[in-house]
Amino acid sequence: MGQFQFEIGISILLLLLGYFFGRHAEKRHFHSIRQREEEYRDVLSIASKVTTAEDSAKPGMLVTGSVVISVDYFKRFLALLRTIFGGRVTSYETLLDRARREAILRMKEEARSLNADRIFNIKLETASISKNAAGNIGSVEVLAYGTAISRVNQGGFSND
């Protein structure tokens, strides 16, 4: 039975580590997200395909932002318990909310560096890395992409 107790001990240790580090990282991340969302408020992100009339002469550019966040042991264990009882997997909801917002922020960052102040036709894609591979803790990727419209009127297409 010694080995069994050892394995239980390891699992509890992983749970505690996952909880404390995961919680700390999440708090810090949300704090940083809120701060940067304020900072990038001037870069409009719009889901609509329809641009305004004045934009028609300005160059549109593909901008992307992607992020990969790892699931911690605690979140995964909670989600596993949810597979028994059903209901909202709240532990993954925060994870994905963070990933989506972070991806949009990175996209905005790219748009700003390209001197764009608005992004049209925003799309989000989510992928799970390593899926259900045994012994893998798994992480989630969120990719945000859209068409950024430059502030300045340059006209035509360009590959620069």
Partner 1 sequence: MIYRNPKIPEGINYSNANPVKEFALLASGAIAIIILAIYLLGSLLDWSSKFIPFAYEQELAEPWVKQFKGNPTTQQNEVAAYLQRLADDMTPLMALEDDVEITLHYVNSDTVNGVATLGGNIFIFRGLLEKLPSENALAMLLAHEIVHVKLRHPVKALSKGALFTLLYAVLSGQSNTDVSGLFSGTSQFAFLGFSRSQEQAADDEALRVLHEYYRNTQGASELFNVLLEESQQSGVEVLSVFHTHPEVTKRLLNTETVSGINNWPTKGQSVKIPAHIQELVQQNKLQQSAE
Task: Give the residues lining the site for partner 1 (CB under 8 A).
Answer: 1, 3-4, 7, 19, 23, 34, 37-38, 41, 43-46, 48, 50, 52, 74-75, 77-78, 81-82, 84-85, 88, 90-91, 93-94, 96-97, 101, 118
In this structure, the chain runs to a length of 160
Q: How far is the CB of 78 from partner 1 (least distance, A)?
A: 6
Q: Are 98 and 33 in contact (CB under 8 A)?
A: yes
**Beta carbon nearer to partner 1, 26 or 141:** 26
**Beta carbon nearer to partner 1, 53 or 160:** 53
> What DSSP line would sit under 17-66, residue for residue?
HHHHHHHHHHHHHHHHHHHHHHHTTTSEE---SPPPGGGGGS-EEEEEEE
Q: How far apart are CA 122 and CA 144, in angstroms?
A: 7
Q: How far is the CB of 41 from partner 1 (least distance, A)?
A: 6
